[in-house]
Amino acid sequence: GAGVSQSPSNKVTEKGKDVELRCDPISGHTALYWYRQSLGQGLEFLIYFQGNSAPDKSGLPSDRFSAERTGGSVSTLTIQRTQQEDSAVYLCASSLAGQSLAKNIQYFGAGTRLSVL
């Protein structure tokens, strides 16, 4: 597609339920990133994919959070047993290449707003 696509745009769930957030990066972009944006805060890095592998998962807040990427394209961020503090906007970004200097401009999707009741 023309840009990074995320779905759903909004998700309301009950505490304790699992949720899956989807990201469809720009075609041809090998690098994909997940960020979390809490109210009034900056963007918190969660995980980075280069192709289908995730060399950096250091930002995942707990083992309830996991992510995968298949076919070098779509990625899914899964949050198990959601808690109220997981409520935030989850943003996905992609770039042509992870560590290539000239190519690492990250382009963002519109995010998924997650509300845990």
Partner 1 sequence: AQKVTQAQTEISVVEKEDVTLDCVYETRDTTYYLFWYKQPPSGELVFLIRRNSFDEQNEISGRYSWNFQKSTSSFNFTITASQVVDSAVYFCALSAVGTYKYIFGTGTRLKVLA
28-87 residues in contact with partner 1 (CB under 8 A) are: 31, 33, 40-43, 45, 48, 50, 56
**Residue 1 DSSP one-character state:** -
Q: At which residue do the structure tokens 């992510």 appear?
A: 67
Cα–Cα separations (whole angstroms), residue 114 to 2, 7, 15, 19, 79 = 24, 11, 11, 9, 11
Binding of partner 1 at residue 2 (CB under 8 A)?
A: no
Whether 93 and 32 have beta carbons less than 8 Å apart is answered as yes
Q: Is the peptide bond before 8 cis (omega within 30 degrees of 0)?
A: yes
Q: Which is nearer to partner 1, 2 or 85 (CB)?
A: 2
Give the binding range for partner 1 (CB under 8 A) out of 11-19, 20-28, 73-81, 94-102.
Answer: 94-102
Binding of partner 1 at residue 21 (CB under 8 A)?
A: no
The residues that touch partner 1, with contacts defined as CB under 8 A, are: 3-4, 31, 33, 40-43, 45, 48, 50, 56, 89, 91, 93, 95, 98-99, 101, 104-111, 113
